[in-house]
Amino acid sequence: MGRGKVQLKPIADKIRRQVTFSKRRSGLIKKARELSVLCSVEVGLVIFSAKGRLYEFCSAERKKKDVVNSMKGEGT
């Protein structure tokens, strides 16, 4: 028997929300890296925090700059 549906709702406490964001961000980046290595695929991940800070992961370093610049609106 699997788990039931989890009801998603915003975290009210600012500190708890930031801690959860940091943990989830780290987990997403780790999974993106694993997917890239295990499946030999190029993976790009862009995350913006609530304050607008940019976090990125790109499995192909040569394309990382292009991805980040396009997300920032600077073009290539």
pLDDT digits (tens, 9 = 90+) for 20-53: 999 999 999 999 999 999 999 888 888 999 999 9
Q: What is the DSSP string of 25-41?
A: HHHHHHHHHHHHHHHT-
**Tokens 């406490």 correspond to what residue?**
13
- Residues in the chain, overall count: 76
Q: Could you tell me where the DSSP H helices lie in 1-76?
A: 14-39, 61-72
Q: Is the pLDDT of residue 76 over 60?
A: no
Task: Give the global pTM.
Answer: 0.73
Structural domains present in the chain = 14-72 (3.40.1810.10)
